[in-house]
């Protein structure tokens, strides 16, 4: 079981590293290593996550940050062009603002 960490707010870089770790866990190290995961990585295109992987990634965010960060709700309110333009950096920023 993942535990909910409540201690202190994370800065941008810490959030990024955490998300990178979640992505690696979800898609597998072999595939993650091939990608140069950065703040600029497009969530859908560069990381090539399918819906099942996105669900797994969302669950990791929820397990770590708890209910104060509604990542799935935030995603589901996007229109199609916003989804296409979604970058990892935007998720970092969203989490930073919410925590």
34 binds another protein (CB under 8 A): no
Task: Please identify which residue in 2, 29, 67, 79 interacts with another protein, judged by CB under 8 A.
Answer: 79
Question: In sequence order, what are the beta bridge partners of 87?
Answer: 42
Smallest gap from Cβ 84 to another protein, in A, equals 5
Smallest gap from Cβ 6 to another protein, in A, equals 29
Biggest CA pair distance of the chain: 36
36 binds another protein (CB under 8 A): no
Name the helix (H) or strand (E) containing 92. helix 88-98
Helices (H) and strands (E) in the chain, counts: 6, 0
Smallest gap from Cβ 14 to another protein, in A, equals 27
17 binds another protein (CB under 8 A): no
* Residue given tokens 């950065």 in the structure block: 38
């Amino acid at each position: 079981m993942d535990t909910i960490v409540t201690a202190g707010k994370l800065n941008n870089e810490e959030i990024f590293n955490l998300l990178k770790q979640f992505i690696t866990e979800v898609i597998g190290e072999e595939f993650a290593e091939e990608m140069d995961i950065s703040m600029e990585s497009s969530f859908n295109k560069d990381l090539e996550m399918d819906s099942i992987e996105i669900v797994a990634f969302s669950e990791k965010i929820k397990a770590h940050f708890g209910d104060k960060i509604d990542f799935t709700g935030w995603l589901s309110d996007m229109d199609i062009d916003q989804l296409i333009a979604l970058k990892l950096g935007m998720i970092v920023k969203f989490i930073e603002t919410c925590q």
